[in-house]
Amino acid sequence: MSELNGVLPIDKPEGPTSHDAVAMARRALGMRRIGHTGTLDPFASGLLLLCLGPSTRLAEYLTALPKRYTATLRLGVTTDTDDRMGEPLHSSEAWRELSREAVETALRAQVGEILQQPPTYSAKKVEGERMYAAARRGKALEREPVAVTIHSIRLLRYEPPEVDVEVECGSGTYIRAIARDVGADLGVGAHLTQLRRTRIGDHDVEEALTLDQLEDGAAVSAALLTPAKALGHLATAHVTPEEVGLLLNGRAVSATPATPAGLPVALLTDAGELVAVGERDGATIRPRKVFS
């Protein structure tokens, strides 16, 4: 069987790590070249985009896409990981005195371009070491706030001490940090108990396969996104057969006035096949990544 090429949306269950999901896909599909875009914590479920074969080179154009999550916050208890997997640190019954309006106000305060302090137990590297590895050794690393964008937070369910929300945010946002900071703002503490990623860019979890379905060749073929479709969020330019030859040799092709500058452009054949991803340089588009 020829090597699969494209992006496969997977619905990761709670429990396995993102790396575990990739390993399962490698065994089920019988191929080694598989990568993912956007790690999910083991306790989280939801959409994971697997890049197969040559499409592993597309990952950089997918990782920065906006994300959507549903999450459950538990008010009144903080943990050392800011989620249910950690050890409890403090508890308070003051959540009983909160109003729905107060919680909604605290949620709204998280929306926008904000500085967010990463959780102590996170995969972010500080001084060349993963923060969770340092935390497990008892070493305290200085956590510098990181600029993130939170587009919206919608309250879905209010049954204190539990609160369900839907979050739309930019890449690099920690949803458990939102829970932590909302709890701190309210003065009662909070942590995340459930997390599910439902969307990455234009890709929805409803279109994803379960890990069990990876053994079903027909289901995989139906769900597999072509490279061009996976990059449907990029600006596009169609190229002639002659220009395809130029691109395959690393040479630039002509840009049009509509071609954006400073952004990646997907260069497609008239049949809609991805030839390259390039970037405008004056009157031309120079290929950055070329696909045979």
Look up residue 143 and give its amino acid: R
CA dist list (Å): 196 to 52, 60, 75: 23, 22, 19
Dihedral angle, C-alpha 18, 24, 28, 31, nearest 10 °: 70
Q: What is the mean pLDDT of the chain?
A: 92
Catalytic residue selected from 11, 20, 41, 185: 41
Q: Residue ranges of the domains in the chain?
A: 6-63+203-225, 67-200, 234-290
DSSP annotation of 229 reads H
Whether 212 is catalytic: no
Residue 120 has pLDDT above 90, yes or no: no
User: What pLDDT, on a 0 to 100 scale, did the predictor assign at position 2?
Assistant: 65
Q: Are the C-beta atoms of 262 and 280 separated by less than 8 Å? A: yes
Q: What is the pLDDT of residue 126?
A: 47
The region of weakest confidence among 4-13, 121-130, 140-149 is: 121-130
Domain covering 67-200 assigned CATH 1.10.3720.10 in the classification: no
Distance from C-alpha of 199 to C-alpha of 167, rounded to nearest angstrom: 10
The percentage of the chain sitting over the pLDDT mark of 90, rounded to a whole number, equals 86
Q: Given the structure tokens 């040799």, which residue do they identify?
A: 249
Residues 64, 128: Cα–Cα separation, whole Å: 22
Which class in CATH covers the domain with range 234-290? mainly beta
Is 6-63+203-225 a CATH 2.40.128.110 domain? no
- Whole-angstrom distance, CA of residue 55 vs CA of residue 228: 10
Higher pLDDT, 124 or 86: 86
Q: For residue range 226-261, what is the model confidence (pLDDT) as tens digits?
A: 999 999 999 999 999 999 999 999 999 999 999 999
Alpha-carbon radius of gyration of the chain: 22
Residue 270: burial class (beta carbons within 10 Å; 0-12, 13-18, 19+): exposed
pTM: 0.90
Domains 67-200 and 234-290 share a fold: no
Closest CA to 200 of 236, 169, 243: 169
Compute the average pLDDT of residues 105-128. 81
